[in-house]
Structure 1
Amino acid sequence: MNSTTRNLTIQHDGVTIPVSRGGRGRPLVLCPGLNSTQADLHELAGLLRRDHDVVTFDLRGHGLASAADRYSFEAFLSDLAAVMKELDRLGLDAAPVLVGYSLGADLAVHFAAEHPGAVAELVLIDGANPVPEPFVTEALLPELRAMWEEMAARQEAERGTARQVLLTAQDVLDLNVEVDAVRSRILDRYRRIDRPLSMIMSSSMAGESGEGQRLNRNWRAGIERLVRERPRTAAYWLEADHGLVFTHAPEIARIIRSTAGRAGSVPAP
Structure 2
Amino acid sequence: MTATGDSTTRHLTVRHDGVTIQVSRGGRGRPLILCPGLNCTQADLHELIDLLRRDHDVVAFDLRGHGLSSAAERYSFDAFLGDLRAVMTELDLPSAPLLVGYSLGADLAVHYAAECHDGVAGLVLIDGANPLPEPFVTDIDLVEFREMARHTAERSEGSDRARQVLLSAEEVFELGLEMDVVRAGILERYRKVDGAVRMIMSSAIAGRGSAGRAPRHNRLWRAGVQRLVRERANVSVSWLDADHRLVFTHAPDIAEIVRSAHQPVGGPAS
TM-score > 0.5, shorter chain as reference: yes
Matched-pair contact (CA < 8 Å) for 1:28–1:97: yes
Which residues of structure 2 form unaligned runs of 5+? 1-5
SS in 2 for 1:53: strand
SS in 1 for 2:161: coil
Partner of 1:203: 203
Partner of 2:174: 174
Q: Does 1:23 align with 2:24?
A: no
- The alignment-based identity, stated in percent, is 65
Deviations 1:102-136 (A, max 9, x none): 00000111111111111000000000000111111
Deviations 1:215-263 (A, max 9, x none): 0010000000000011121100000000111000000000001112x22
TM-score, normalised by the number of residues in structure 2:
0.94
How far residue 267 of structure 1 moved from its aligned partner, in angstroms, is 6.6
Moved more, 194-203 or 25-34: 194-203
Paired amino acid for 2:264 = A
SS in 2 for 1:152: helix
TM-score, normalised by the number of residues in structure 1:
0.95
CA RMSD of aligned residues (A): 1.4
Q: Partners of 1:156 and 1:176 in 2: how far apart? A: 19
Q: Partners of 2:195 and 2:44 in 1: how far apart? A: 28
Partner of 1:252: 254
How far residue 26 of structure 1 moved from its aligned partner, in angstroms, is 0.6
Partner of 1:152: 153
Q: Partners of 1:120 and 1:203 in 2: how far apart? A: 27
Partner of 1:138: 139
Q: Does 1:119 align with 2:120?
A: yes
Q: Partners of 1:149 and 1:176 in 2: how far apart? A: 12
SS in 2 for 1:105: helix
SS in 2 for 1:55: strand
Partner of 1:32: 36
Matched-pair contact (CA < 8 Å) for 1:120–1:196: no
- How many residues get paired? 262
Which residues of structure 1 form unaligned runs of 5+? none
Partner of 2:3: none
Moved more, 246-255 or 165-174: 165-174
How far residue 3 of structure 1 moved from its aligned partner, in angstroms, is 7.2
